[in-house]
Amino acid sequence: NGFTAFVNDLCGILILLGIALAAIQRFIIKPPHVVSETKDNLALLLIGLLVLIGFLAEGVRILMTQLPLEVGLYSFIGYPISRLLSLTGIHWTTVVYPYLWWTHAVLGAVFVAYLPFGKMRHMFNTPLTLLLNYKMK
């Protein structure tokens, strides 16, 4: 679906932009109110790898299905990657794609399992606290 492909690629680019800005703030600017801990860096690494492997898997999938240009262009990151991959002599579809897919899936599962232990747990804690406080009134 063109809309889904476009939104997925756009969100992936925005996530990578956010990771780059967070890394610049943590490692270059280093304001005193930003405390960079190992688990924060792990979260940035997990999210970044998840998106990058996702783009690569999408490119291989597009290459594998031989999407025509008018359909593939909705995936404005995946389609160019598929064209670059087609220039190599590697059999992406039979040899590499299953490993890419599983790597992407495992990284996603590891990230979800990591969420309650990192600083991003506030994504769950805050709405739950608000809901519980609302129910108590």
Query: With 90 as the cut, is the pLDDT of residue 3 above it?
Result: yes
Record the pTM: 0.85
Residue type, 14: L
| pLDDT score recorded for residue 43 | 87
- Encoded tokens for 46: 């997990």
CB 9, CB 75: distance < 8 Å: yes
Tokens of 107: 């990284």
Answer whether 62's CB lies under 8 Å from 72's CB. yes
Please state, in angstroms and rounded to a whole number, the distance separating the CA atoms of residues 58 and 60: 5
Q: What is the residue type of 136? A: M
Q: What pLDDT does residue 137 have?
A: 63
Task: Give the pLDDT band (50/70/90) at residue 4.
Answer: very high
- Rg (C-alpha) for the chain, rounded Å, is 19
Mean pLDDT of the chain: 89
